[in-house]
């Protein structure tokens, strides 16, 4: 029945939005958080782990959790991750210092690491390849709706209650989500051999990423772009990732099995996901900082400014799915990254008097943010659809995880590296600035010199942000080129007969194959999956 699978994907979309709310909520509550836990407002770099901790947990756990969902089923993984998400929320709400706050965010991130890819894999289970982009666009829209509401949600609650209430509220929300998942999401695991789980590969990937993030975290950016331990830790992280790649080549059970898959297009598509994630996180953090440091807005006003960008994301995510369904994945991916590059160049060129700048009747600030959001939103569904089309249905869970891992790796490494660069550049640009001392001069002279000092600080901030947005525009141009190389199936042509090198058939490309729940018969004994053509689905019903 169509209605039941819609309820299932709706429940999955709800848990995706819950995780997205908490992923982005801290971008607008940093000021009350740092005041509460005793971090000086001029040393915001000390709370960078609070931002990166969630992303690191999210990225590090996701491939392994995606693989576990392929083995044990979607519903058990969603339920287990919701429980741990609640545990992480409690730890975060009780935190009184940066290490405990970071620990809570890491637990939340690890738990949230399954919610989006498992829901994406559920879409792959329930819908055939032609219909899938639209459904994935809706899931992506739920994720981006969370990103829209997250900053506003955080700012709104922090305005009337203690910021810790944000994380206590998660407990009843998690309970409601668990009820919805239990009712709607199919619980079958499939018959026949179940895929293995590459625990060693998952741990190597997590360790390598953790070392890279630790290597770029710099609590003293006024001294250098990287901390003293940065180069050796970065080298160690790179070495561990090399070991991870070698392990994946030789291991019998792999985190992402690429046998029978066109690797070049797949890796290019994952590259698009990585670069779009980096651009997204730069925008989420730096636009709010521009609002608060350059425009003099408070946290709520900064969140409201960001909504111009965030509202455009889910709208474009749905549109990108529809375009991919009609024309294939390549063109909306390439166009989205190109439009984003234009948007970031426009943002980088924001004038000093930004509040009054406009394009005729259109406010410049709003227009540039909407353009950028529309560009990044177009990419979301085509990237997911292309990757799911490259791999057999038995690997939808881990393939979906790979898409989100790439995106979140971009967010994690992008914000870590660019924040380190930005803090360093700001300290470099202001190294020779000395604030005037009021007791050494008259009141009028002090006011005049203070005005000059503040103007110089503002110029330094604008230069820092301009350079960051220039770099982001360059990443988007690279993403557009990768999208053209990635391809994806042209919906106006017949399906390709081959899915992998040497002409080996790829069942995930030739026909949709969905996870068997035990209610159907005639499954492929080798895979435990049922081919569906036109009618019937995982629920064993028409639709």
DSSP per-residue string spanning 122-179: HHHHHS-TTTHHHHHHHHHHHHHHHHHHHHHHHHHHHHHS-TTHHHHTHHHHHHHHHH
How many CA within 13 A on the CB side of residue 364?
Answer: 16
End-to-end CA distance of the chain: 5
Domains in the chain: boundaries: 2-187+253-496, 201-252
- In this structure, are residues 108 and 92 in contact, taking their beta carbons and an 8 Å threshold? yes
Distances (CA, A) of 362 to 95, 288, 303: 44, 21, 20
- Residue 281 CA to residue 284 CA, distance in Å, equals 5
The answer, yes or no, to whether residue 369 has pLDDT greater than 60, is yes
The answer, yes or no, to whether residue 541 has pLDDT greater than 90, is no
- Residue-wise pLDDT tens digits, 285-342: 788 778 877 777 776 677 778 888 888 988 898 899 899 888 888 999 999 999 999 9
- In this structure, are residues 192 and 19 in contact, taking their beta carbons and an 8 Å threshold? no
At residue 539, the pLDDT reads 36
At residue 202, the pLDDT reads 83
Segment among 132-141, 369-378, 476-485 with least mean pLDDT: 132-141
At residue 531, the pLDDT reads 32
The answer, yes or no, to whether residue 128 has pLDDT greater than 70, is yes
Radius of gyration of the chain (CA): 24
The number of residues making up the chain comes to 543
CA 364, 336, 55 angle in degrees (round to 5)? 90
At residue 188, the pLDDT reads 61
At residue 78, the pLDDT reads 87
- Residue-wise pLDDT tens digits, 27-78: 777 778 888 887 765 566 677 788 778 878 877 777 778 778 878 888 888 8
More confident residue, 519 or 277: 277
pLDDT, mean of residues 395-399: 68
At residue 93, the pLDDT reads 92
Two structure tokens written together for 340: 């984003």
The answer, yes or no, to whether residue 85 has pLDDT greater than 90, is yes
At residue 488, the pLDDT reads 54
Cβ atoms within 10 Å of 531's Cβ, excluding its own: 16
At residue 482, the pLDDT reads 94
Two structure tokens written together for 20: 């997205």
What are phi and psi for residue 362, nearest 5 degrees? -95, 125
Environment class of 362 (CB within 10 Å of its CB; exposed 0-12, middle 13-18, buried 19+): exposed
At residue 276, the pLDDT reads 92
More confident residue, 235 or 6: 235
At residue 226, the pLDDT reads 72
More confident residue, 327 or 134: 327
Q: Assign a CATH topology to domain 2-187+253-496.
A: Growth Hormone; Chain: A; (1.20.1250)
How many CA within 13 A on the CB side of residue 362?
Answer: 10
pLDDT band at 96 (very low <50, low <70, confident <90, very high): confident
pLDDT band at 189 (very low <50, low <70, confident <90, very high): low
pLDDT, mean of residues 76-91: 92
- Residue-wise pLDDT tens digits, 445-487: 888 888 888 888 888 888 888 888 999 999 999 999 999 988 6
At residue 463, the pLDDT reads 86
- Residue 383 CA to residue 381 CA, distance in Å, equals 6
At residue 507, the pLDDT reads 37
């Amino acid at each position: 029945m169509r209605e039941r699978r819609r309820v299932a994907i709706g429940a999955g979309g709800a848990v995706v939005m819950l995780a997205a709310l908490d992923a982005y909520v801290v971008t607008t509550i940093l000021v009350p958080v740092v005041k509460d836990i005793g971090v000086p407002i001029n040393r915001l770099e000390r709370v960078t782990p609070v931002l990166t901790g969630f992303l690191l947990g999210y990225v590090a756990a996701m491939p392994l959790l995606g693989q576990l969902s392929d083995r044990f089923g979607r519903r058990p993984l969603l339920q287990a991750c919701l429980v741990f998400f609640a545990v992480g929320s409690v730890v975060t709400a009780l935190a009184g210092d940066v290490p405990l706050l970071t620990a809570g965010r890491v637990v939340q991130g690890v738990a949230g690491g399954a919610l989006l890819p498992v829901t994406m894999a559920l879409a792959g289970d329930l819908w055939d390849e032609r219909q899938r982009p639209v459904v994935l666009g809706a899931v992506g829209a739920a994720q981006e709706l969370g990103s829209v509401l997250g900053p506003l949600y955080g700012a709104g609650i922090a305005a009337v209650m203690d910021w810790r209430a944000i994380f206590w509220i998660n407990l009843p929300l998690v309970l409601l989500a668990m009820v919805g998942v239990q009712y709607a999401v199919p619980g079958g695991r499939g018959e026949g051999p179940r895929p293995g789980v590459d625990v060693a590969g998952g741990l190597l990937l997590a360790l390598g990423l953790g070392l890279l993030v630790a290597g770029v975290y710099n609590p003293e950016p006024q001294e250098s772009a990287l901390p003293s331990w940065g180069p050796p830790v970065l080298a160690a992280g790179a070495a561990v990732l090399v070991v991870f790649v070698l392990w994946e080549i030789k291991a019998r059970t792999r985190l992402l099995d690429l046998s029978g898959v066109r690797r070049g297009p797949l890796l290019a598509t994952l590259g698009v996901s990585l670069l779009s994630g980096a651009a997204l996180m730069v925008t989420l953090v730096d636009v709010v900082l521009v609002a608060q440091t350059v425009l003099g807005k408070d946290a709520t006003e900064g969140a409201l400014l960001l909504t111009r960008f965030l509202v455009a994301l889910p709208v474009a995510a749905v549109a990108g799915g529809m375009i991919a369904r009609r024309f294939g994945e390549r063109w909306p991916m390439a166009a989205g990254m190109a439009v984003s590059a234009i948007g970031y160049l426009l943002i980088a060129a924001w004038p000093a008097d930004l509040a009054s700048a406009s394009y005729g009747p259109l406010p410049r600030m709003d227009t540039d943010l909407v353009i950028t959001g529309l560009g990044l939103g177009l990419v979301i569904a085509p990237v997911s659809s292309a990757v799911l089309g490259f791999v057999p249905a038995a690997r939808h869970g881990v393939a979906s995880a790979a898409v989100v891992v790439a995106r979140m790796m971009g967010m994690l490494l992008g914000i870590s590296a660019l924040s380190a660069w930005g803090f360093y550049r700001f300290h470099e640009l202001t190294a020779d600035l000395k604030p005037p001392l009021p007791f050494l001069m008259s009141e009028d002279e002090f006011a005049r010199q203070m005005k000059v000092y503040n103007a110089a600080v503002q110029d330094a901030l604008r230069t820092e942000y301009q350079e960051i947005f220039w770099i982001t525009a360059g990443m988007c141009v690279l993403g557009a080129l990768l999208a053209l190389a990635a391809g994806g199936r042209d919906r106006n042509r017949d399906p390709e007969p081959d899915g992998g090198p040497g002409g080996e058939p790829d069942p995930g490309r030739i026909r949709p194959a969905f996870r068997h729940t035990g209610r159907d018969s005639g499954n492929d004994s080798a895979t435990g999956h049922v081919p569906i053509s036109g009618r019937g689905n995982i629920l064993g019903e028409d639709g």
